[in-house]
Chains A and B, each alone.
Chain A
Amino acid sequence: MADKREGNRRRRAQPSDLMWRPVVVLAFCVGLPHTSHADDGALLSDDTWRYKSAGDLAIDAGLVVGFPAALPTGLSTGVGAGVAKGRTLAWGARAAWVTATESSLAWTVTHSDLQLRVTGAVQKSAGRGTLGLRLGLGGTLVHESRVRNQGMRAGLTGSELETSAFAMLPAADLDAVLAVHIAGPWLLVTSGGPSVDVLDKKLHAGWSAQLGVAWQP
Chain B
Amino acid sequence: MAAMTRVALVVASLAGCSDLSGFGGAVPALVTVHVQTTGELASVRPPGSPDPKLRVALVWGAQWLPEPLCILPPDDATVTALIAAGCRDPFGFVPDRVAADAPLASDGTASIGLLDLPAADVMVGDVTARVAYGSLVVYDDRDGNATLTLGLPSRLGGRQGPMEGDSGTQTLDVVYGASFVSMTEPDARLAFREGGFNQTAAFYPRSGCGDPLASFSIVSAGGFTAAAAVAAQAQGQLPPEDPATCSEASPETPVAVAFRRPAQVHELACEERLTDSSVRYREPPADPPDLAVRTYACPKIPDFGTGMANGRTELAISGRSDESCVGLSHYVLRGCRNDPLCALPAWDITATPPSWWPCPAQAAQ
Footprint of B on A, CB under 8 Å? Answer: 70-72, 91, 93, 102, 104-107, 109, 111, 116, 118, 137-139, 141-142, 144, 146, 148, 150-151, 153-156, 160, 163, 165-170, 198-200
Contact partner of A72 among B12, B22, B117, CB < 8 A? B22
A62 to chain B, nearest CB (A): 22
Are A166 and B17 neighbours in the complex by a CB distance under 8 Å? yes
Which residues of B, 60-100, contact A by the 8 Å Cβ criterion?
none
Are A150 and B214 neighbours in the complex by a CB distance under 8 Å? no
CB-CB < 8 A to A91: which residues of B?
1, 4
Contact partner of B28 among A71, A118, A160, A166, CB < 8 A? A160
Can you list 12 contacts pairing A with B, beta carbon distance less than 8 Å? A107-B23, A111-B20, A116-B7, A138-B7, A138-B11, A139-B14, A144-B21, A150-B117, A167-B20, A170-B11, A170-B12, A200-B19
B 205-220 binary contact with A (CB < 8 Å = 1; else 0) = 0000000001110000
Are A146 and B21 neighbours in the complex by a CB distance under 8 Å? yes
- Closest Cβ neighbor of B19 among chain A residues: A167
B213 to chain A, nearest CB (A): 9
- Closest Cβ neighbor of A137 among chain B residues: B8
A56 to chain B, nearest CB (A): 15
- Closest Cβ neighbor of B21 among chain A residues: A146
- Closest Cβ neighbor of A151 among chain B residues: B30
CB-CB < 8 A to A198: which residues of B?
15
Are B23 and A72 neighbours in the complex by a CB distance under 8 Å? yes
Are A116 and B18 neighbours in the complex by a CB distance under 8 Å? no
Are B7 and A144 neighbours in the complex by a CB distance under 8 Å? no
Q: How far is the CA of A137 from the CA of B15 in the complex (A)?
A: 13
A138 to chain B, nearest CB (A): 5
- Closest Cβ neighbor of A168 among chain B residues: B14
Are B15 and A168 neighbours in the complex by a CB distance under 8 Å? yes
Which residues of B, 19-45, contact A by the 8 Å Cβ criterion?
19-23, 27-28, 30-31
Footprint of A on B, CB under 8 Å? Answer: 1, 4, 7-8, 11-12, 14-23, 27-28, 30-31, 115-117, 194, 214-216
Known contacts A118-B8, A168-B18; 10 additional CB pairs below 8 A are A72-B23, A116-B7, A138-B7, A138-B8, A151-B30, A153-B215, A160-B28, A168-B14, A170-B12, A170-B15
Are B117 and A106 neighbours in the complex by a CB distance under 8 Å? no
Are A155 and B215 neighbours in the complex by a CB distance under 8 Å? yes
- Contacts A156-B30, A168-B16: A163 and B11 contacting too (C-beta < 8 A)? no
- Closest Cβ neighbor of B251 among chain A residues: A155
CB-CB < 8 A to A107: which residues of B?
23, 27
Are B30 and A169 neighbours in the complex by a CB distance under 8 Å? no
A66 to chain B, nearest CB (A): 17
CB-CB < 8 A to B216: which residues of A?
154-155
B279 to chain A, nearest CB (A): 38
Q: How far is the CA of A148 from the CA of B26 in the complex (A)?
A: 11
Are B30 and A167 neighbours in the complex by a CB distance under 8 Å? no
A98 to chain B, nearest CB (A): 15
CB-CB < 8 A to A72: which residues of B?
22-23
Q: How far is the CA of A155 from the CA of B20 in the complex (A)?
A: 25
Are A163 and B21 neighbours in the complex by a CB distance under 8 Å? yes
Contact partner of A155 among B19, B21, B214, CB < 8 A? B214
Are A109 and B12 neighbours in the complex by a CB distance under 8 Å? no
A173 to chain B, nearest CB (A): 13
- Contacts A116-B7, A137-B8, A139-B11: A150 and B17 contacting too (C-beta < 8 A)? no
- Contacts A153-B215, A154-B117: A139 and B17 contacting too (C-beta < 8 A)? no
Q: How far is the CA of A151 from the CA of B29 in the complex (A)?
A: 9
Q: How far is the CA of A91 from the CA of B28 in the complex (A)?
A: 48
A71 to chain B, nearest CB (A): 6
- Closest Cβ neighbor of B23 among chain A residues: A104
Are A169 and B15 neighbours in the complex by a CB distance under 8 Å? yes
- Closest Cβ neighbor of A120 among chain B residues: B4
Q: How far is the CA of A142 from the CA of B17 in the complex (A)?
A: 11
Interface centre among A118, A138, A144, A154 (most CB of B within 10 A): A154
Q: How far is the CA of A72 from the CA of B21 in the complex (A)?
A: 11
CB-CB < 8 A to B31: which residues of A?
154
CB-CB < 8 A to B4: which residues of A?
91, 93, 118
CB-CB < 8 A to B215: which residues of A?
153-155
B215 to chain A, nearest CB (A): 4
A41 to chain B, nearest CB (A): 50
Are B7 and A165 neighbours in the complex by a CB distance under 8 Å? no
CB-CB < 8 A to B117: which residues of A?
150, 153-154
Nearest 7 interchain pairs by C-beta: A155-B215, A139-B11, A168-B14, A154-B30, A106-B27, A104-B23, A118-B4
Q: How far is the CA of A118 from the CA of B14 in the complex (A)?
A: 16
- Closest Cβ neighbor of A153 among chain B residues: B117
Q: How far is the CA of A150 from the CA of B194 in the complex (A)?
A: 12
A92 to chain B, nearest CB (A): 9
Q: How far is the CA of A64 from the CA of B7 in the complex (A)?
A: 22
Q: How far is the CA of A160 from the CA of B28 in the complex (A)?
A: 7
CB-CB < 8 A to A154: which residues of B?
30-31, 117, 215-216
